[in-house]
Chains A and B, each alone.
Chain A
């Protein structure tokens, strides 16, 4: 028995450690100025997956889409106990919005045919909470969002307590499912010392190629490629080669990827600064509360 889980992880700028240069002049995030970290809620998704494996058996595969440096989150996942890590990297995926990203990830996940897919509720850079649900839609998996507690997993049935903001729902579903996990669901386990000692050397081919190019700048392309292959073979022999897939590997339709597959257009980014004068006080009387509600309705804030 056992369940094969796939965890989608994202490398994000660490918004906990904001510095002055966190935003560019155009209002977008200056990723270069912020340290890159494992998206916090994805760690909770990973923990849920590891917990499922520990209790019921199975495997945990972590996938991430991004530049080769995103391998750092994959290694982090291996330190914490993941069995396998896959990097999806392809220049043609650049500029993907949540729709294109979820298409690419769903295509990759389909190849893995898991029982359970787990995502963090949302990423701290975009805060959309869209990618997970969109993956479920494309895979035609049942979506259970806002997981707060995995209550039961028996045969092909899962029971989950989900947080719906003003209360909880307990839902049951048949596998396969996609779960999005809240940060209140668990405490992510720390990295294991021995796993760090082992997997710190794990690399994806793209990282190896970058390393070779830096170390042998004079060598020609074929020579560099041969050296890269040698090093990758050596890593693979030790079980330390991180799988690397591109859009061709996962047979993605390019029309759905990258900028071409991304309908989202950022119209305008506005920095809203609330100044001290922009508020009104309402007294705790029926009349005054009525006035407040009326104002909110006229303002289209409610109603």
Chain B
């Protein structure tokens, strides 16, 4: 039977190679749930076996039910009805029903709310698999972070009321942040929330570009402190779909047609405060956003995977000049680059998610109130700080690199298919259209770089590399690891140069190049580790270094040139502002 989990060698490799047993121990908190829930695992092997079976179920559903309807979903889209309700495309409706039946809509929620208590890493794998089947479905399936946010920050009453139906898939959610004048800059959100004399909350105003805004559970970022103009005046509120929430329009988009993008009008809609006032943006949305960024990284992986497979298959069967086009060196290089970059993005994204799981586990232990001996407590606090630093760099890095990779790969997929790729007869053009949003939403690539470069400059990339590279390598990998070490020194020198400029502007100008250098090296270090376990990964490692080390040297040279022409000669180089008709 076709299965998008079992047929994906790279996901299989990472599933077997990464230390899922360790994550199982973290998530299951010493397997204490086994007595309470008859399905909770009794030990690490049992838990990992569960993860495998869960992903196999999902993989089968994706291959057999979801992927076959994705073209139809793309062409049909969703419908905004006159009464303000939204009807999903039939393929999306059916997929959501099936995913609910398969009990897969509460992947990471605790057992007590009906969830599967899986690590974020397994959920990320699931997003990768779903997105390959239908990128637009992932926009709804992947909103499980809404429930996670409620679980992390809301009071027990709200959790008990909302989480079980969300875990069952009866209700879906939406993160309601963007407004016409508040896109990347969420600090300027205007939608307001106020209390009546009885202390009840209401939300008033317009939000737009809201993915699945027609969902039942809306987490709305709104200004509760009108006197505070920045992010500290914003709180997070839960609004249930109802007569006071109107979907005013559905956007017509380039891609992800199965995902309804709504403009919402809140007409003094009743609301519930999540957590504390004023922490809406600075704590809750930031947390939600980090999860969503990993989500988009995994969506990018899935789209790229689908695009690559199509191209690989086509190049094998399409004959020109007397043979299959896969024999032409130029086509070969396209295919090799596509598959290499997918594996690189997957290695980075899964590694980042692994670190997120570790951080969640450490924080949970610290907050559990358990008495720890001082050494253990100190160690936990250090770990907590360390992984927080890792994740605030690795998350934007993954989102940036995976989404840009997705753009390249889906673009190259069309290139391999040539004229046929431009036609609607093949899915290549859909993958390219679907891919285009990934570098934009949940923070554009430029904003991800802005976030990641600060982590790199603070030395986090060097620390991550130290952790990954410091070990006894087998003889065949040791010299390669040494090459990565050399690259690490180059990165350190580039950072020193930027520091010496003492200019944030210059740092941001060099941001993408510096972050690219760091990513090239972190992926190389991860590939060194993978190469110890697989011959195919050894070839991958060598290919990666042969392309990416020269690129790192090029970036080093550009950064240390101190060239500021883009800033200083902007007017001359960008030219005058043209009038548009």
Contact = CB atoms under 8 A, between A and B. Distances in A.
Interface stretch (A106-114, A147-155, A166-174, A188-196): A188-196
Contacts of A191: 57, 102
B487 interface: no
- The listed residue with most B CB atoms (<10 A of its CB), out of A16, A196, A200, is A196
B54 interface: yes
A198 interface: yes
Interface stretch (B10-18, B38-46, B524-532): B38-46
Interface string B85-120: 000000000000010011110000000000010000
A24 interface: no
A238 B38 contact: yes
B53 A197 contact: yes
A196 B53 CA distance: 7
A193 B104 contact: yes
B57 A190 contact: yes
Contacts of B98: 189-190
Nearest to B50: A197
A55 to B, nearest CB: 15
A190 B53 contact: no
B537 to A, nearest CB: 29
Contacts of B61: 190
Nearest to B97: A189
B60 interface: yes
Interface residues of A, number: 15
B49 interface: yes
Contacts of B116: 193-194, 197
B60 A193 contact: no
Nearest to B94: A187
B60 A190 contact: yes
Interface in B58-80: 60-61, 65
Contact of A198 (B1, B39, B102, B104): B39
- The listed residue with most B CB atoms (<10 A of its CB), out of A187, A189, A194, A196, is A194
Interface residues of B, number: 19
Contact of B101 (A16, A189, A238): A189
B103 A192 contact: yes
Contact of B103 (A193, A200, A239): A193
Contacts of A194: 39, 103, 116
Nearest to A189: B101
A200 to B, nearest CB: 7
Contacts of B38: 198, 238-239
B102 A200 contact: no
A196 B101 contact: no
Contacts of B41: 197
Nearest to B99: A190
Interface string A233-274: 000001100000000000000000000000000000000000
Contacts of B50: 196-197, 200
A198 B41 CA distance: 9
Contacts of B60: 190
A197 B57 contact: no
Nearest to B167: A194
Contacts of A238: 38
A300 to B, nearest CB: 41
Contacts of B49: 200
A191 B3 CA distance: 14
Contact of B57 (A16, A196, A198, A239): A196
Contacts of A192: 101-103
A189 B98 CA distance: 7
A196 B103 CA distance: 10
Nearest to A192: B103
Contacts of A16: 1
B53 A200 contact: yes
A200 B102 CA distance: 15
B202 to A, nearest CB: 38
A193 B54 contact: yes
Interface of B: 1, 38-41, 49-50, 53-54, 57, 60-61, 65, 98, 101-104, 116
- Cβ-closest 3 pairs across A and B: A197-B39, A198-B39, A190-B102
5 contacts: A190-B98, A192-B103, A197-B54, A197-B116, A198-B39
Given A189-B101, A193-B54, A193-B102, 17 more contacts: A187-B65, A189-B98, A190-B57, A191-B102, A192-B101, A192-B102, A193-B57, A193-B103, A193-B116, A194-B103, A194-B116, A196-B54, A197-B41, A198-B39, A200-B50, A238-B38, A239-B38
